[in-house]
Chain A
Amino acid sequence: MRRRDFLKTMGAASSAAVIPFLRFLPAEAAGRDDTLVVVSGNGPNSMDIQRKGTNRPSYQIAVNLYDRLVGYSTKTLANGSLMYDYSKLEPEAAESWVVSPDGKTITFKMRKGATFWDGAPITAYDVKWSFDRAVSLGGFPTVQMKAGALEKPEQFEALDADTFVIKLLRPSKLTLPDLGVPVPIIFNSELAKKNATADDPWATEYLHRTPAGSGAFMLERWDPGQQVVYKRFDEWKNGVLPGISRVIIREIPSASTRRALLEKGDADVSLEMPPKDFAELNASGKYTITGVPIENSMISIGLNLNFEPFANKLVRQAVAYSVPYDQIFKQAAFERGIPMWGGKSLTPATIEWPQPFPYDTDYDKAKALLKEAGYENGFEVPLSFNLGLAQWSEPMCLLLQESLEKVGIKATLEKIPGANWRTAALVEKKLPMHIKDFGGWLNYPDYYSFWVYQKDRLFNSMNYSNPEVEKITDITLNMEVDDPQYEPNIKKLLSIFFEDVPLIPVYQPYLDVAMQKNVTGYEYYAHRQLDCRSFGKVSA
Chain B
Amino acid sequence: MNRNDKLRIIFGRLMQAIPSIIGIIIVTFILTRALPGDPAVYFAGPAATEKSIQEVRVSLGLDKGWLEQFWIYATSLATGDLGVSVSTGLSVKEELIRRLPASLELTFLALIFSVGVALPLGIAAATRPNSWVDQLCRLVVTAGVSLPVFFTGLFMVYLFYYILGIAPAPLGRLDIIYLSPPTVTGFYTIDALLDGDFETFGAAFRQLILPAITLGIFTLAPLARMTRGAMLQVLSSDFIRTARASGLKRSTVLYSYAFRNALLPILTTLGMVFSFMLGSNVLVEKVFAWPGIGSFAIEALIVSDYAAVQGFVLAMAILYVLLNLTIDIVYTLVDPRVGLES
A residues bordering B, Cβ < 8 Å? Answer: 3, 6, 16-17, 22-25, 27, 29-30, 37, 45-46, 51-56, 138-140, 142-144, 147, 208, 223-227, 248, 250-254, 256-257, 260-261, 263-264, 266, 417-420, 422-423, 426-427, 451, 458
Contacts and interface: CB of A to CB of B under 8 A. Distances in A.
A417 B37 contact: yes
A527 to B, nearest CB: 10
Contacts, number: 170
Contact of A427 (B38, B89, B157): B38
A129 B172 CA distance: 40
Report the 10 A-B pairs with minimum CB-CB distance, sorted nearest first. Answer: A140-B45, A419-B37, A45-B89, A420-B37, A53-B43, A138-B55, A266-B169, A46-B89, A252-B289, A53-B86
Nearest to A3: B180
B162 interface: yes
B47 interface: yes
Interface string B188-199: 000000011101
B285 to A, nearest CB: 7
A143 B49 contact: yes
A25 B170 contact: no
A30 B44 CA distance: 37
B90 A254 contact: no
Nearest to A6: B179
B28 interface: no
- Which of B38, B39, B87, B295: most chain A Cβ within 10 A? B38
B183 interface: yes
B175 A264 contact: no
Interface residues of B, number: 63
Contact of B173 (A30, A226, A248, A253): A226
B170 A260 contact: yes
Nearest to B52: A139
Given A3-B179, A22-B179, A417 B55 contact: no
A17 B199 CA distance: 12
Contacts of B44: 52, 139-140
A142 B169 contact: no
A139 B288 CA distance: 35
A467 B196 CA distance: 74
28 contacts: A3-B182, A17-B195, A17-B197, A23-B179, A23-B197, A24-B177, A29-B177, A45-B89, A45-B90, A51-B89, A53-B43, A139-B44, A139-B52, A224-B90, A225-B88, A227-B172, A251-B172, A253-B285, A254-B154, A254-B286, A254-B287, A260-B158, A261-B170, A264-B162, A418-B302, A419-B37, A420-B37, A422-B41
Contacts of B39: 419
A97 to B, nearest CB: 25
B59 interface: yes
Nearest to B285: A253
B88 A143 contact: no
Contacts of B46: 56, 140
A427 B41 contact: yes
A213 B296 CA distance: 30
Most buried by B among A52, A224, A418, A419: A419
B162 A254 contact: no
Nearest to B39: A419
B88 A250 contact: no
B303 interface: yes
Contacts of A423: 36-38, 41-42
B147 to A, nearest CB: 16
B161 interface: yes
A419 B296 contact: no
Contacts of A248: 176
Contact of B296 (A225, A261, A426): A225
